[in-house]
Structure 1
Amino acid sequence: MTSPVLSLNEVSLALKGNAGVVEILHGIDLQVAAQETLGLIGPSGSGKSSLLMLMGGLERATSGSVQALGHDLSAMNEDALARFRRHHMGVVFQSFHLIPTMTALENVATPLELAGDRDAFDRAAEELCAVGLEDRLDHYPAQMSGGEQQRVALARAAAPRPDILLADEPTGNLDGANGAAIMDLLFGLRDRHGATLVLVTHAPELAARCDRVVRLADGRISPMNEAAQ
């Protein structure tokens, strides 16, 4: 049997806030197979985004283990985690997180340059063309619509050819037409690069396109999981 790409065992997460320690996740057990598409759904505050951040090593589990591609993320320091993400993961945030002083081409090329790719700008241009932004390469984020900015963010995440693609509410800040276009692009990138895709969403139509759906409630995986139809 093939080892899972992502494996979480008895994972819990507690964060310190102004009112004291807040328990976010409780005893999460979850495995994700190679090239699987997994949707994480549930009400606001159920822990979906926190779970995604743990998968990407952007948050550290309070207890339990998080493994990605056979590597224990909890055993890595911040530099090692950054290198691992650079070579193996792409992350798409709801709020885009583009660098405002860089053009679309520069935003996409930057992670490739950091990884030592000599063809960083050619690869960046290729990915931007793939998401329909061949006429926007030299535009800055402020000169683009929300849908166009999310396309840049998708291109940036996909350009390093990641093994794992994580997306947190990728259509949450977009209108219906732009959201539908981003959904098509997201699954197209998965198909083109053969990545494992995990996404957090409130959109039923996006969850329905996943191979499997996991529902969270109060920081736990709900026993009433539903398979995507």
Structure 2
Amino acid sequence: MPDPVLSLKDVHLTLQGNAGPVEILHGITLDVEKGQTVGLIGPSGSGKSSLLMVMGGLERATAGQVRALGRDLTTMDEDALARFRRDHMGVVFQSFHLIPTMTALENVATPLELAGARDAFDRAADGLKAVGLSHRADHYPAQMSGGEQQRVALARALAPRPAILLADEPTGNLDGANGQAIIDLLFGLSAETGATLVLVTHAPDLAARCDRVVQLRDGGIDRQVRAAE
């Protein structure tokens, strides 16, 4: 069996709170295989988003090991982590995180330009077309609806063709119709590109579309099931 795309072994995360250290994650061991879709579910405060951030090197594990594509993220410095994410990961947040002074096309092209792609704007245009927003290429985020902004964010995450796609409540700020459209795009485009998808969600119907569901409780894995179970 090939090595997992993501592998966490006995991962702990402790952050400093106002009253002292707070243990967010404790003893997380989890493997994600190439091409899998994995849903992270659980009550608020269970550690779902923190686990996703640790997987992406956006939070550094306090103890344990995090490996992605065979690389040990826990030994990388911040610059190396940033380059690794640029080259291998796409991240979609609930709050879009678009650059307000850039057009949709420029937002999507930015990570491609940072990676040195000579055809950054052509690929960005293709990315916007894939999410149905070619007609919004020259618009700024403030000129777009929430659903359109999230589609731009999705195009930006997928334009570099990442091996790993991480999504944190990608439909959390959207109404039902826009949320469903983003879900369909997220699964469709990740399947088309072959990206391994890990997403945080509170929505049972969204989790049910994943190959595996990992339920967290109090910073640990409570149970894992195949979505069909």
Match of 1:97 in 2: 97
Pair 1:168 & 2:168 matched: yes
Match of 2:217 in 1: 217
Match of 2:124 in 1: 124
CA distance in 1, matches of 2:24, 2:106: 36
CA distance in 1, matches of 2:10, 2:138: 46
CA distance in 1, matches of 2:189, 2:82: 22
Q: Which sections of structure 1, spanning at least 5 residues, go unmatched?
A: none
Instruction: Tell me how far 1:3 sits from its aligned partner.
Output: 0.4
Return the letter of the residue paired with 1:136.
Answer: R
Instruction: Tell me how far 1:163 sits from its aligned partner.
Output: 0.2
Instruction: Tell me how far 1:226 sits from its aligned partner.
Output: 2.9
Q: Report matched runs for 1:1-229 at 5 Å.
A: 1-223=1-223, 225-229=224-228
Instruction: Tell me how far 1:227 sits from its aligned partner.
Output: 2.1
Runs of 4+ in 1 over 3 A off after TM superposition: none
Q: Percent identity?
A: 79
TM-score by length of 1: 0.99
Superposition CA RMSD, Å: 0.6
Return the letter of the residue paired with 2:73.
Answer: L
CA distance in 2, matches of 1:121, 1:188: 22
Instruction: Tell me how far 1:187 sits from its aligned partner.
Output: 0.5
CA distance in 2, matches of 1:92, 1:73: 20
Residue 226 of structure 1 aligns to a residue whose secondary structure is strand
Instruction: Tell me how far 1:81 sits from its aligned partner.
Output: 0.5
CA distance in 1, matches of 2:14, 2:218: 13
Residue 174 of structure 2 aligns to a residue whose secondary structure is coil
Instruction: Tell me how far 1:79 sits from its aligned partner.
Output: 0.6
Number of residues of Structure 1 aligned to a counterpart in Structure 2: 228
Residue 116 of structure 1 aligns to a residue whose secondary structure is coil
Deviations 1:127-157 (A, max 9, x none): 0010000100000000000000000000000
Return the letter of the residue paired with 2:120.
Answer: A
CA distance in 2, matches of 1:226, 1:193: 25
Residue 148 of structure 2 aligns to a residue whose secondary structure is helix
